[in-house]
Amino acid sequence: MRARARVSSTEDSTMGYETVYARSMQDPASFWAEAAELIDWDQPWEKVLDDANPPFYRWFAGGMLNTCYNAVDRHVAAGRGDQPAIIYDSPVTDTKTRITYSELQDQVARCAGALQALGVSKGDRVIVYMPMVPEAVIAMLGCARIGAIHSVVFGGFSARELATRIDDAKPKVMIAGSCGIEPNRVVHYKPLLDSAIELAEHQPEHCIILQRPQEPGSLIAGRDLGWVEALREATPAPCLSVAATDPLYILYTSGTTGQPKGVVRDHGGHAVAMAWSMENVYNVKPGEVFWAASDVGWVVGHSYIVYAPLLTGCTTLLYEGKPVGTPDAGAFWRVIAEHEVSVLFTAPTAFRAIKRDDPRAEHLGRYDLRSLRALFLAGERCDPDTLNWAETILGLPVIDHWWQTETGWAIAANCLGIEPLPIKPGSPTRPVPGYGVEILDEDGIAVKAGEIGRIMIRLPLPPGCLVTLWGHDERFVQSYLAAQPGYYLTGDAGYLDEDGYVFVMSRIDDIINVAGHRLSTGAMEGVLASHPDVAECAVIGAHDQLKGELPVGLVVLKAGVSRDDGSIIKDLVALVRDQIGPVAAFKTVAIVERLPKTRSGKILRGTMKSIADGKDYRMPATIDDPAILEEIRTALTTIGYAKPL
């Protein structure tokens, strides 16, 4: 007998933020036990927080459940099978499809049955190498249905990067698309898959290939099966009850090279955190349309395209397109209006691209956005100028929130489902309940309000965060927990202000030392981004023989800017000098056409620093367009950098 979840909001929605946060810190076991009522359990847990083996804390030990049942089947059982579970909108293929919860249940059960027919059972790994299509979601849920562990690899990753993940996860089966579709090209997935398997030491037994009409792949007899045929012939599989502490998925951190870092998420804590966050962070209710404009290959896709919306009973929007160019800078507005999106979650990069191409938001006037209640931004530091621009054009709350692949959900946010707090541009607001955020110096001593230090989180981490690295417990401890006993090292630097607001300034490695002064490149980027002609920017610390490091700005201008580059550069240097001070020694700016980014939109500052310092670097596995690095090298050379030291 499954314990039924409550369908109404938790009592947290009637309390203020301070009260809810205090409860989560003072009595986490009671707090998360209440949150777990949002999930259906096959067997109650024996202990909410198992702290017998620190720092390996486990949530809901002894509990049994099935994540796929909670995300799909229970909504059908509750009479909501005709509600759309997935809206698929693909401007690059001119396709729009709606899949109801009943239809999703049938397809997921058949996918799970197809995997079982190939010998996949509880604990086996399945790598998913798919574009942004509904079948990617079905594959993930199909694995969860039978207790298999999925590892989604971003579609289009190089063969070598895919091979490293194959050797680490050792999948029994791989599920892949034949190709991916970009606005101006087809990405050949199947040849990349074949090359990766050839490079890998571990050999998967079978591959299931979704043949896309734009470019079907060549199937290898005896190893490869077509998706349609495999599901058509499969016997639908029921949900298998698994332990709350069993692994749900492995997600390799972006940019991984050499020995991969596979973040492990479990079933129980993950399901509870996802469901709780939808109600309390995003203030989204069952039946509403939630759109996370990301990719299933990234953590945002796992958490807020697939699991959290479906666990809540929302309609999730799967978008195969870009914020600009498919066909124009009004693409997001069209999707919101057409599908009546309630809440949008995307990266600041997307809005900077829209602002760059349509600075006066002229496309916005063509669409009715009355369904949209809030915009959430995450994935990188959101500069105040971008946040203010979005807030001005939309007239809605624009919420910057901060989290990581490792945490799986927000560390700091303005929790709209609890109590909306005043917005401070540049800050993701306050720590989310469950996260004990502190700012410590190199000696582990808490710093004063306003002082920059290492952002740390007191253990135990709340449910939904990583429990280890796949096959590497010791590396998990060394990478995240060894810097300060009793704390998780976020790797980010920042400060808490006098109101307890979190300010994430940069990665710890991006704090530069200018003649003995520790300065944040993120603070300088915030100043540059406030200039009316700047669309986006990055600041790196370049080697200097006299001062150790000097800040160098790389700036992309808004479309239509006609001013002389020299006068803009003078403005920018003066702006940093005025707002940060002469101590920053900020004197050098390069105007560039674009910045190098990962496919998830993060700017590759470390790679640009290596170029500026004349050092060798490895081509980032996640780079969106490798050709851009030569453009950056040329720009840096013109201002005296990018030469061998």
Each domain of the chain, given as residue ranges in start order, spans 64-321+401-502, 517-638
In angstroms, the CA 45 to CA 322 distance is: 43
Tokens of 160: 């070598």
Residue for token pair 């400060």: 495
The CATH-assigned architecture of domain 517-638 is 2-Layer Sandwich (3.30)
Mean pLDDT per 10-residue section of the chain, whose length is 645 residues: 36 75 97 98 97 96 98 98 98 98 98 98 98 98 98 88 94 97 92 96 98 96 98 97 98 64 97 98 98 94 98 98 96 98 94 93 97 94 89 96 96 97 95 98 92 95 98 94 95 94 84 70 87 93 83 93 92 88 86 87 86 86 82 92 74
- The answer to whether the bond into 327 is cis (omega within 30° of 0) is yes
Q: Residues 138, 143, 145, 149: is their CA dihedral positive or negative? A: negative
Let me know: does 242 contact 143? Beta carbons within 8 Å.
Answer: no
Q: 483: which DSSP letter?
A: S
Instruction: Examine residue 55 and say whether the peptide bond preceding it is cis (omega within 30 degrees of 0).
Output: yes
64-321+401-502 — its CATH code? Answer: 3.40.50.12780
Task: Categorise residue 376: left if φ over 0, alpha if ψ from -120 to 50, beta otherwise.
Answer: beta
pLDDT for residue 515: 64
Instruction: Quote the pLDDT of residue 14.
Output: 55
β-pair type (185-187, 180-182)? antiparallel
Q: Which amino acid is at 576?
A: V
Q: Choose among 157, 144, 146, 170: nearest CA to 306.
A: 144
Q: Is the C-alpha dihedral spanning 196, 198, 202, 203 positive or negative?
A: positive
Give the span between the Cα atoms of 160 and 195, in whole angstroms.
8
The pLDDT, as a whole number, for residue 167 is 96
87 within 8 A of 339, measured Cβ to Cβ:
yes
Tally of CA atoms within 13 A in the half-sphere of 220 that contains its CB: 13
Which pair of structure tokens corresponds to residue 116?
A: 């079982």
In this prediction the pTM is 0.84
pLDDT at 7: 32
Q: How many H helices and E strands in the chain?
A: 20, 32
